[in-house]
């Protein structure tokens, strides 16, 4: 069977070249006589892999030296607890902006450990926009300010960051990491579940400013303390070895094939523009997000008729465009166009949508 165009929100497509390299190295990684899956995480060979993955991430994302890169497990969802356990321990306060389900889950978890304050929410319009933020409403002595940078389910993204002054900005970048350049120095902490845009599932990447490490609450489990992992080079326990190796291959692909995140952004903008331009002119389909807050990665759209949406998803699947069904809270469709989705995949999807429109417009 030919490979499909997979528009899943995550786990999602990986670059074909990465899969081919992994396949070629599966039985014998660079003359070691073993798969990366089988080798000791304390071996010299594996040590080189994890060090190279970190060095590449630092280079590709231009991460300043006063930040630690941690390769963890437990998903972005574990960070919803790890962030407050480690950071909410000076004034026991934090600000949250509720822009969707992930942001809300992060907020609810933080509220278990301290005074979590909702600065703004876009729940009133099914999270179809990013709220306008007024710094006068921010908690001046908050330990941090949390945002979900790209809202995977609803297809919104912050195009300008909140001005939080000395309060560290913390962002969930699970669904936009590596999609475009990001000024890491604007943040105290960034975290991402890798399965959207960095690697397969199993790896969680944390980028944290060093001064924010070392102030965890006493109740913090050892494994949930950033210090534990920072002090041990993400090797306190067995890291997700194979996923880190694939992440290294993805970073090599971005660096060598794409030419870095500026180029990655251009390609992602091209893909998103193809779909948004079509949606803006379509008589059958429409996007669900206000134009100024649209995501580059996750693009929800509807026909306004649930039966027609279902027919579209079914016919699209048969044509090789899979996982286009939208999240149940939005309905309709969602096309997630992460880095590994080729431009050609979006061009073909738009052509398919045009044909569907012509056949189904009454
Ligand atoms: C997928 C996703 C999560 C959840 O990630 P897990 O790794 O499954 O815990 C959290 N936040 C955002 C923005 C996501 O897209």
Average pLDDT over residues 2-15: 96
- Residues 171-195 have pLDDT tens digits of 999 999 999 999 999 999 999 999 9
* Model pLDDT, residue 19: 98
- Residues 53-96 have pLDDT tens digits of 999 999 999 999 999 999 999 999 999 999 999 999 999 999 99
On whether the pTM is more than 0.95, the answer is yes
Q: Active site includes 196?
A: yes
**Same domain flag for 138 and 48:** yes
**Same domain flag for 209 and 304:** no
**Same domain flag for 320 and 331:** yes
Is the minimum distance from the CB of 175 to ligand 1 under 6 angstroms?
Answer: yes
Whole-number Å distance, alpha carbon 135 to ligand 1 midpoint, is: 27
Domain extent at residue 131: 17-257
Average pLDDT over residues 308-335: 96
**Same domain flag for 63 and 129:** yes
Residue after which a domain boundary falls, among 226, 242, 257: 257
**Same domain flag for 238 and 267:** no
**Same domain flag for 198 and 215:** yes
Q: Which residue has the higher pLDDT, 362 or 177?
A: 177
**Same domain flag for 289 and 146:** no
Number of domains in the chain: 2
**38: Cα separation from own chain's centroid:** 28
Helix-, strand-, coil-residue percentages of the chain, each rounded to 5: 40, 15, 45
Q: Active site includes 172?
A: yes
Domain containing 70 — which CATH number? 3.40.640.10
Q: Active site includes 125?
A: no
Whole-number Å distance, alpha carbon 168 to ligand 1 midpoint, is: 21
**Same domain flag for 169 and 267:** no
Q: Kindly tell me if the per-residue pLDDT of 26 is higher than 80.
A: yes
- Would the CA dihedral through 102, 108, 112, 118 be positive or negative? positive
**Same domain flag for 122 and 211:** yes
Whole-number Å distance, alpha carbon 235 to ligand 1 midpoint, is: 23
Average pLDDT over residues 16-22: 98
* Model pLDDT, residue 98: 98
Is the minimum distance from the CB of 128 to ligand 1 under 6 angstroms?
Answer: no
Position 1 confidence tier, pLDDT thresholds 50, 70, 90: low
Q: Please give the mean pLDDT across all residues of the chain.
A: 97
Residue nearest to atom 8 of ligand 1 (CA): 75
Which residue among the candidates 157, 196, 248, 325 is catalytic per the annotation? 196
Is the minimum distance from the CB of 243 to ligand 1 under 6 angstroms?
Answer: no
Tell me the CA end-to-end span of the chain in Å, nearest whole number: 35
Is the minimum distance from the CB of 202 to ligand 1 under 6 angstroms?
Answer: no
Domain containing 9 — which CATH number? 3.90.1150.10
Is the minimum distance from the CB of 200 to ligand 1 under 6 angstroms?
Answer: no
Given the CA of residue 149, which atom of ligand 1 is nearest to it? 13
Position 231 confidence tier, pLDDT thresholds 50, 70, 90: very high
Contact 6, 14 (CB under 8 A): no
Average pLDDT over residues 45-55: 98
**Same domain flag for 285 and 245:** no
Residue after which a domain boundary falls, among 257, 279, 295: 257
Tokens of 9: 């929100």
Residue after which a domain boundary falls, among 215, 232, 257: 257
Is the minimum distance from the CB of 172 to ligand 1 under 6 angstroms?
Answer: yes
**Same domain flag for 11 and 111:** no
- Residues 95-154 have pLDDT tens digits of 999 999 999 999 999 999 999 999 999 999 999 999 999 999 999 999 999 999 999 999
Position 297 confidence tier, pLDDT thresholds 50, 70, 90: very high
**Same domain flag for 164 and 63:** yes
Share of the chain above pLDDT 70, in %: 100
């Amino acid at each position: 069977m030919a490979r499909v165009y997979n528009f899943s929100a995550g786990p999602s497509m990986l670059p074909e070249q990465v899969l081919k390299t992994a396949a070629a190295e599966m039985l014998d990684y660079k003359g070691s006589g073993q798969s990366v899956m089988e080798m000791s995480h304390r071996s010299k060979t594996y040590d080189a892999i994890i060090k190279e993955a970190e060095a590449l991430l630092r280079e590709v994302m231009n991460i300043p030296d006063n930040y630690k890169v941690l390769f963890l497990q437990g998903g972005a969802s574990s960070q919803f607890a790890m962030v407050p356990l480690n950071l909410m321990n000076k004034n026991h306060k934090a600000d949250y902006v509720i822009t969707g389900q992930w942001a809300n889950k992060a907020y609810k978890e933080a509220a278990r450990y301290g005074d979590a304050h909702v600065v703004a929410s876009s729940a009133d319009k099914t999270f179809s926009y990013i709220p306008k933020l007024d710094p006068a409403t921010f908690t001046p002595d908050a330990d941090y300010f949390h945002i979900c940078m790209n809202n995977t389910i609803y297809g919104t993204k912050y195009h300008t960051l909140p001005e939080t002054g000395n309060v560290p900005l913390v962002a969930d970048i699970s669904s936009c990491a590596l999609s475009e350049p990001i000024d890491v120095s604007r943040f105290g902490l960034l975290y991402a579940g890798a399965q959207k845009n960095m690697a397969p599932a199993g790896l969680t990447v944390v980028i944290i400013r060093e001064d924010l490490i070392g102030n965890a609450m006493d109740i913090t489990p050892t494994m949930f303390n950033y210090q534990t992992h920072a002090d041990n080079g993400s090797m306190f326990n067995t890291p997700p070895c194979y996923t880190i190796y694939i992440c290294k291959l993805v970073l090599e692909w971005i660096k060598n094939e794409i030419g870095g995140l500026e180029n990655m952004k251009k390609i992602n903008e091209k893909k998103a523009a193809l779909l948004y331009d079509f949606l803006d002119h379509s008589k059958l389909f429409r996007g669900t997000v206000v134009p100024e807050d649209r995501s580059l990665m996750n693009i929800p759209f509807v026909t306004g008729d649930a039966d027609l949406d279902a027919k579209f998803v079914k016919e699209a699947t048969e044509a090789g465009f899979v996982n286009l069904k939208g999240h149940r809270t939005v309905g309709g469709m969602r096309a997630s166009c992460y880095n590994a989705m080729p431009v050609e995949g979006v061009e073909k999807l738009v052509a398919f949508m045009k044909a569907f429109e012509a056949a189904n417009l009454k």
